[in-house]
Structure 1
Amino acid sequence: MATRLVRRCTCLLREATRLAPAVSPVSQLRLPQETQKPLTSSATSPSSRLPGPLSELVEKERVFTPYPGHQEVEQLIEKATQPEELLELLGSGHCLQQNHAALALIQLSRLLSEKPKDKATLIQDARFWQLLHLVNSQITVVWHGTLVKLLRSLYTLGLPATSKDLRSVEQEVRWRMRRLKYKHLAFLAESSATYMQEQGSRELLAELLVHLERRWAEIEDGRTVVAMMMKTGHLSESLMNRLEDKCLELVEQFGPEELRKVLVTLAAQNRRSVPLLRAISYHLVQKPFPLTKSILLDLAYAYGKLGFHQTQVFQRLAADLLPHTPSMTSSEVARCTKSFAFLKWLNLPLFEAFVQHVLDRAQSITLPHLCNMLLAFARVNFRPEREDPFFSLVHEKLGSKLVGLEPALQVDVVWALCVLQQVREAELQAVLRPEFHTQFLAGKSPKDQSTFQKLLHINATAQLEHPEYTGPLLPTSALVPSPSALEQKMTPLQKELQETLKGLLGSADKGSFMVATQYGWVLDAEVLLDTESQLLPLRDFVAPHLAPPSGSQPLPPGAKRLAFLRWEFPNFNSRSKDLLGRFVLARRHLLAAGFLLVDVPYYEWMELKSEWQKSAYLKDKMRKAVAEELAK
């Protein structure tokens, strides 16, 4: 108490000196004695007064609380528009109480938030360090809210990580961590987590994340949980789990903007939280709030990135996006097309509108955007009604620029044209020339192997669908299937199909399973039938589809080679029985290679319960394939 009384008397003396410079030294020395009585009696006598300005100052001191009203110094700090105005407070005779120095530093950081050169000048100013030392001398009485803002301000002002004053403020925050309200912790994490990582304050950040996780139940509003997910969720797995639980609890209060932020955050962190995604999808469908174009695009991106399928949400997104198509930019159209392609959701009116958008802006659309749309169309096997003008534009834009694209993108673009049956000889030659494809032959990364697999498909397209093509082609040694092509985990449908076929064939030499062809496709099974539909041993006859070709005897006249292809749920467009473009290309290649195809889609196989039904199903499929061939 004595220390506090001396500090207040000192402030009064300084104020008296500023306001009454003509007073004699004797009267100045008497001032503390004269003011002692009002100061001591003010605690019990609210009516006590002092004449002149000192009376007002004492009155303010008398009612001073941990959360005081705006005082003169605070008003000067708030109204300051230049850093110099704040620094001059030190030498102008003002008594900077407790939080004033901290508030001045906070205001300095606001004024210099976008002026990095001025920040460097400020740090070299002695008055700035004097202000900082003053804060440290009063750090224990700075309010909680001001303290966290002060730490954020010191980070933004660019103080060195070794600064003792910065470390002092950080240490004070650590000491008060348990007493701070959750909103203060959330503010600190939201505004300063990045700075803590850069400044080497990882211990403070770790402790902050622990407190946020332990006290997650104190979150009361949606804004806090959304901001925490965006800013700190990626820093702590356990904290993100808690935030997802809280978000699930508060999701009913969210508006479209909060739902967008949550979905984009989940997509950015690749977190497929199914309960939360289901809850968000429910509210998107049930609540009639309007969705702006930017929100619709972000929702489509998030659902596509996470691969979360919800039919009613997709229907609403497509219906709401359709009127916005004329006002969308080429970048937004390409992005939206790509998102729906990831979802395997083919909405014909929307995709036709995208094609019309491209044709209307044929001169301004860039090649990268056109390539993205082409790849998206190939994925869902979309053939626009105005395909002639669209693909004419594609070939015109590609032209000589194809060879200037990144190598993997060149392969992707030509492969997409093969899927859509729009590839030209020059485009085939661009990726099948030896100096180009050699870089992918020995690739070990998954991306290189995927690119080389597409090169095999392009090579097969040139061989089987373009008889006029004269070369070049991939070397024979490159067509030999890699061991990884047959190492995929067996699915339940694949296992049941093989077991049923083995029982149907009777002998192991009458059929082959998991046959890797030189075209880049793997057959689930292969059998050979004579003119009487009797099974023939495969090993005795030539097999040109293998790499290298095997067998020596030519096929008997009228013999037919059957390929069994199973189609799993992921092989189809969403909510459709139409195959994705990749598998449509596989069927075309195998038909062109002389196979009769026995398709076994999952939705038909699931209806078969007994072994007898499955055997009868396969026999019927084989008879139909042969009958269709004879009917041609």
Structure 2
Amino acid sequence: MFRTGLLVKFGIVRITSSCSLVQTSVKWCSTSANLFLKQTDSKTDEHLSSEPAWVKTPLDKQIFSASDAKSLLMSVEHQNFDGRCAINVVNILSRWVSEGKFTVSDFQKLDSKAKLEENLLKGEFSVGLFGTLQALKGLLLLGFKPNSKVVESLENEILWLLRKITLGQHLLVMDYYSQMQESARHQQVIKEVVSNVQRRWVEIVEAKDFVSLFKHAAHFNPKFIEKMEDVLVELVQGFSQEDQTKILVILGATQRRSTPLLRALSYHLNKRSDKLSVRLAADILFALHRLSFHDHLLMERICNDLVTQLTPEVKSSTIGSLLTSLGQLKYRHEGCLDAVCDWVNHNWTKVRYQDVLSLTLCLAALDFLPSCWEPLWEKMSVLLRQKRVSSDLSKFIQLDLAWSLAVLNHLDLETGQSVLNDEFMGELLGEAFLNLPLIFFF
């Protein structure tokens, strides 16, 4: 985008210069013309460079430049239209559906739909794995059933491609298929991917592949996943700080608590001399909480790094995540808590209500009042009173908030009475059975 802007800018300079030269001397006319031709050529080159790699023939250009479904599907009648062209048409139509420019019902009414399907059934796509996966997702978006012959045609192509693609691409297939409805052919593809990954496991060496593997661990033999965790213990030292964090986060998300792997990750994260960014710190603390893994050396290191990095550019949502994790980990680092509260106090205009709730619950859970508490509480109390009537908080969060205010010696009579009555307790018990996973445990 920036390159395009610069080209346009330089183009304007050339036009202006050429115009002034024409006014001063006829001798410069040829120079002006040459500049204009160069400018035109550069624009043409710029247009060509913006075309995707699959645009190779005049028919491809016709498909790529189509502005609506009617002009796009005129290409279906072309004598050279084949399975590869059909894939590209499907990808464009599905993109338009995602952008709201086209609807599934419009697609069902198209006269050329049958001929498009006919070409998809013939095969011979030659668009590679990514293009085929995109088209498969696009067909489902356009209303095709997972067990339809057209979808199965593309899945047969994927089964064929599995014989010659890398192991990382196998895991990419797994990522795509996790977003789709199951069918008999769907299960066959997953089974083939799992078989190939377990057979070629020595090829898994990159952090992103381990992340994908753990994300889909439910499809694999538990013993195989345990073996890969042991393999990762030896490899994790060579990963970047960000990759180590990603692995820790996926372990937290999937609740995989391999103690040797967690110890290796925490050791190497703590060992690095470069500071952890605020984003990585928030991710690590969240993962530690999810795994109930209280590594005090790592948590102290994280909090020490955070103290000097809480700039106004930090997002309120990140602050809320930090507060929630620190409260749930029951880790009291006074320097970090003071810095976070100071950030909230000085950046109040962009602080979200839910992050104020997280701050209240965190301070109560850790029994801590920051040095800026008085001016901070003045702002917090006004917001909490304003939101009390209109808020649709769950009963459990309302109870947690009342408890937190009591611990902080700021529980007012109205808030206390709102939770200490038979009606509230009845609703609380009813909600416990319906929304048990939503309970906040502090």
Task: List gaps (5 residues or longer) in structure 1.
Answer: 1-68, 455-581, 583-632
Match of 1:343 among 317, 323, 329: 329
Equivalent residues of 1:105, 1:150 under 8 A apart: no
Q: Which residue of 1 aligns with 2:407?
A: 419
Match of 2:98 among 114, 127, 146: 114
Aligned runs of 1:385-396 on 2, under 5 Å? 385-396=371-382
Match of 1:187 among 144, 153, 172: 172
* Matching of residue 356 in structure 1 with residue 342 in structure 2: yes
Equivalent residues of 1:101, 1:131 under 8 A apart: no
Deviations 1:576-628 (A, max 9, x none): xxxxxx9xxxxxxxxxxxxxxxxxxxxxxxxxxxxxxxxxxxxxxxxxxxxxx
CA distance in 1, matches of 2:339, 2:88: 56
Q: 1:95 to 1:359 in 2, by over 3 A?
A: closer
Match of 1:153 among 125, 135, 142: 135
How far is the alpha carbon of 1:205 from its aligned partner? 3.0
Q: Which residue of 2 aligns with 1:9?
A: none
Q: 1:87 to 1:73 in 2, by over 3 A?
A: farther
Aligned runs of 1:230-245 on 2, under 5 Å? 230=215, 232-233=216-217, 235-236=219-220, 238=222, 240-241=225-226, 244-245=229-230
Amino acid at match of 2:409: Q
Match of 1:432 among 385, 404, 420: 420
CA distance in 1, matches of 2:276, 2:430: 49
Q: 1:102 to 1:417 in 2, by over 3 A?
A: same
Q: Which residue of 1 aligns with 2:242?
A: 257
Match of 1:221 among 206, 219, 233: 206
Aligned runs of 1:166-185 on 2, under 5 Å? 166-174=151-159, 177-178=162-163, 180-185=165-170
Amino acid at match of 1:302: A
CA distance in 2, matches of 1:229, 1:303: 17
CA distance in 1, matches of 2:72, 2:426: 67
Give the TM-score of the pair, scaled to structure 2: 0.70
Q: 1:146 to 1:332 in 2, by over 3 A?
A: closer
Q: 1:117 to 1:243 in 2, by over 3 A?
A: farther
How far is the alpha carbon of 1:352 from its aligned partner? 1.0
Structure number with bigger Rg = 1
Q: 1:246 to 1:193 in 2, by over 3 A?
A: farther
Q: Which residue of 1 aligns with 2:57?
A: 73
Amino acid at match of 2:176: S
Amino acid at match of 1:338: T
Provide the aligned C-alpha RMSD in A.
4.0
Bigger CA drift: 151-160 or 174-183?
174-183
Q: Provide the aligned length of Structure 1 versus Structure 2.
A: 378
* Matching of residue 295 in structure 1 with residue 280 in structure 2: yes
Q: 1:429 to 1:135 in 2, by over 3 A?
A: closer
Deviations 1:544-566 (A, max 9, x none): xxxxxxxxxxxxxxxxxxxxxxx
CA distance in 1, matches of 2:416, 2:72: 70
Bigger CA drift: 206-215 or 268-277?
206-215
How far is the alpha carbon of 1:351 from its aligned partner? 0.7
CA distance in 1, matches of 2:191, 2:399: 46
Which protein has the bigger helix share? 2
CA distance in 2, matches of 1:397, 1:383: 18
* Matching of residue 379 in structure 1 with residue 361 in structure 2: no
Give the TM-score of the pair, scaled to structure 1: 0.51
Amino acid at match of 2:345: L
CA distance in 2, matches of 1:366, 1:282: 34
Q: Which residue of 2 aligns with 1:407?
A: 395
Q: 1:70 to 1:180 in 2, by over 3 A?
A: closer
Q: Which residue of 1 aligns with 2:316?
A: 330
How far is the alpha carbon of 1:256 from its aligned partner? 2.9
Corresponding residue SS for 1:382: coil
How far is the alpha carbon of 1:153 from its aligned partner? 0.9
Corresponding residue SS for 1:325: coil
How far is the alpha carbon of 1:179 from its aligned partner? 5.3
Corresponding residue SS for 1:195: coil
Equivalent residues of 2:324, 2:358 under 8 A apart: yes
Relative contact order (alpha carbons < 8 A, sep ≥ 6): 1 or 2 greater? 2
Equivalent residues of 1:222, 1:250 under 8 A apart: no
Equivalent residues of 1:378, 1:419 under 8 A apart: yes
Match of 1:321 among 306, 323, 329: 306
Bigger CA drift: 380-389 or 432-441?
432-441
Equivalent residues of 1:81, 1:111 under 8 A apart: no
Amino acid at match of 2:175: E
CA distance in 1, matches of 2:59, 2:240: 37
- Give me the identity figure in percent: 22
CA distance in 2, matches of 1:330, 1:72: 47
How far is the alpha carbon of 1:73 from its aligned partner? 3.2
Corresponding residue SS for 1:257: helix
How far is the alpha carbon of 1:199 from its aligned partner? 9.8
CA distance in 2, matches of 1:109, 1:250: 43
How far is the alpha carbon of 1:290 from its aligned partner? 5.2
Corresponding residue SS for 1:368: helix
How far is the alpha carbon of 1:268 from its aligned partner? 1.9
Deviations 1:243-275 (A, max 9, x none): 544543432332233223222222222222222
Amino acid at match of 1:150: T
Amino acid at match of 1:407: K
Amino acid at match of 1:118: F
CA distance in 1, matches of 2:357, 2:122: 63
Amino acid at match of 1:209: V
Deviations 1:412-466 (A, max 9, x none): 1121122233333443333223433354579975988x99xx9xxxxxxxxxxxx
Which protein has the bigger strand share? 1
CA distance in 2, matches of 1:135, 1:440: 55
CA distance in 2, matches of 1:78, 1:253: 48
Deviations 1:382-402 (A, max 9, x none): 122343334444433333644
Corresponding residue SS for 2:297: helix
Q: Which residue of 1 aligns with 2:13?
A: none
Q: 1:396 to 1:301 in 2, by over 3 A?
A: same
CA distance in 2, matches of 1:335, 1:219: 32
Q: 1:392 to 1:184 in 2, by over 3 A?
A: closer
CA distance in 2, matches of 1:182, 1:122: 36
Corresponding residue SS for 2:311: helix
CA distance in 1, matches of 2:339, 2:258: 33
